[in-house]
Amino acid sequence: MKKRALMIGISLSAIAAGCASVATGPQAINWDKVPATKVALFYPGQSSYQWLRSEAHAGAAKETARGDACTSCHDDPKEEQRQGAKILSGKHPLEPHAAAIKGKNGHIDMTVQAAYDDKNAYLRFQYKTHNPNHPGNDYPGYRFDGKEWKAFGGMRLNKNVLAGKTATVYENRVNIMLDDGKVPGFAQQGCWLTCHDGERDMQKEPTKDQVEANALMKAIKKSDVRKFIPGTRTNPMDWSTGKPLEEIAKMKANGEFLELMQWRAHRSDKVGGADDGFVLEYRNFDAGKNHFNSNMDSKTKLPKFMFDQAKAGTKAYTAGDYGKKEMILIKGANAVPFDPNAGWKEGDILPQYILSAEDAAGSAADNKALSEWKNGVQTVVFIRPLGLANADDKALKPGGVYNVGFAVHDDNMTGRGHHVSYTKTLGIGAKADITAVKLN
């Protein structure tokens, strides 16, 4: 799907405030007339599939293992607030780095609205960012040390950040995980089905060598463990027991996977996109090409692009620019091919990714997004075409009801450092926790 024309010249004011119909498409939606649902998200720490089924889970191991809904017990109106604060208290085993991230907010109150027309579903999210002074669209870069370009910066829980060796920097994200009823347990236990010991920054994280020696990981050419659904393992308690690829392919053909859509403040926002991915044996991107691509040439070990001095006023930036300037490299807008002889100085930094709406293609480029960050409030509208027929997509259809879980990566966090919601239902013109209303 290529609907780039939609993105050009959109007035963002209509996203924040409901506004009279001045145009067609998502920018014309009067959100004041669309019902709003409050959804609370909390900081989950290392509450993995395995921890939830262990004795540490306060006598709830058996109930969780047999598939009870999390909210059959966690049902207080302020439950998420209580849980997030407790995990970050410094006294809870689920967050070993609580002291290092002191001041982190335990929960986020998000407003969710949904609408649809003949072509698309529109999902709108609003939440207050923890840092009121920055839109959270910085991202780690490559820093020139006088000889080589080396990775610079990381999220709050990054080992080098915790050790004080590099800067704290990461992009904000808003994510939707969606199931159409085909993944057993998702309706009851949501995103927690995909969160396992052994994944990045979780307990019992294996070494790169251990991962690369694993049969499934070798077959899919991965060197770390990421989200997966339990059915892809012979023993769901153990990431290393991957099923053969043929069995996993059968699951995919039967629709036993989760949709994962991610809006990224650095890597997709400026080109009007949101990632389209899916969770099966790994957190995969859909077929085709993403809105963002690596800015590192793996052969020459040099960046591929630099800023266009004439347009960006500089060819690179430095560590001191983080939090102050917008440092996003966009093909065709402010980027030119990297020149190794441009007189690079120690401390020069270039982005790790280059963005392009034109290069995005295929199923990976299905989702579009609009956003606005104003007075510390982030608004994101996902635009998801209805009825997608790709093998790696969940088709949204009028009348359909889906199970959804939301995550927000806020204030320099990625991986498990996000906030997560319990499962909600989303109905496209059908009654659910969040009902998408039909637009005229």
Q: Which residues bind ligand HEC (CB under 6 A)?
A: 44, 47, 52, 57-58, 60, 63-64, 68, 70, 72-74, 83, 86-87, 189, 192
Q: How far is the CB of 251 from ligand HEC (least distance, A)?
A: 21
Minimum Å gap between C-beta 68 and ligand HEC is 4
Looking at the Cβ atoms of 68 and 212, the one nearer to ligand HEC is 68
Nearer to ligand HEC, 86 or 243 (CB): 86
Whichever of 55 and 246 has its CB closer to ligand HEC, that residue is 55
Radius of gyration, CA atoms only, the chain: 22
Rounded to a whole number of angstroms, the minimum distance from the CB of residue 225 to ligand HEC is 19
DSSP-assigned letter for residue 385: E
Least spacing, CB of residue 131 vs ligand HEC, in Å: 25
For residue 192, the number of C-alpha atoms closer than 13 Å in the C-beta half-sphere is 27
Least distance from ligand HEC to the Cβ atom of residue 402, Å? 19
Q: Which residues, in sequence order, are bridge partners of residue 368?
A: 273, 383
CB nearer to ligand HEC: give 201 or 212.
201
Q: How far is the CB of 74 from ligand HEC (least distance, A)?
A: 6
The CA–CA distances, whole Å, from 155 to 205, 328, 416 equal 17, 17, 11
Cα 362-368-374 angle, rounded to 5 deg: 155
CA–CA distance, 202 with 179 (Å, rounded to integer):
24
User: Which residue's CB is nearer to ligand HEC, number 4 or number 74?
Assistant: 74
CB contact at 8 A, 228 and 217:
no
Of residues 63 and 308, the one with the C-beta less far from ligand HEC: 63
Count Cβ neighbours within 10 Å for each residue of 410-437 and write b for 16 or more, e otherwise.
bbbbbbbbbbbbbbbebbbbeebebbbb
Task: Give me the DSSP letters along 109-176.
Answer: EEEEEEEE-SSEEEEEEEEE-S-TT--S----EEEE-SS-EEEE-B-TT-HHHHTTSS-B----EEEE
Please tell me the total number of residues recorded for the chain in this structure.
440
Work out how close the CB of 57 gets to ligand HEC at its nearest, in angstroms, rounded to a whole number: 6
What is the Cα 246 distance to its own chain's centre?
A: 28
Work out how close the CB of 391 gets to ligand HEC at its nearest, in angstroms, rounded to a whole number: 29
DSSP-derived pairing of the beta strands 434-438 and 424-428? parallel
Distance CA 217, CA 211 (A): 6
Minimum distance, C-beta of residue 433 to ligand HEC, in the bound complex (Å): 17
> Which residue's CB is nearer to ligand HEC, number 64 or number 137?
64
Q: Specify the residue, 43 or 122, whose C-beta has the smaller distance to ligand HEC.
A: 43
By C-beta, is 193 or 436 nearer to ligand HEC?
Answer: 193
Which pairs count as long-range contacts for 154-162, CB under 8 Å and 24+ apart, including other chains?
A: 155/412, 155/413, 155/414, 155/415, 155/417, 156/100, 156/101, 156/104, 156/411, 156/412, 156/413, 156/417, 157/97, 157/100, 157/101, 157/201, 157/413, 157/415, 157/416, 157/417, 162/97, 162/100
Q: Give 230 or 385: the residue with its C-beta nearer to ligand HEC.
A: 230
CA 30 to mean position of chain CA atoms: 26
Pairwise CA distance, residues 301 & 21, whole Å: 50
Q: How far is the CB of 86 from ligand HEC (least distance, A)?
A: 5
Please, what is the minimum distance in Å from the beta carbon of residue 228 to ligand HEC?
Answer: 16
Instruction: Quote the DSSP letter at residue 87.
Output: H
Q: Identify which of residues 64 and 172 has a Cβ nearer to ligand HEC in the complex.
A: 64
Q: How far apart are CA 77 and CA 70, in angstroms?
A: 14
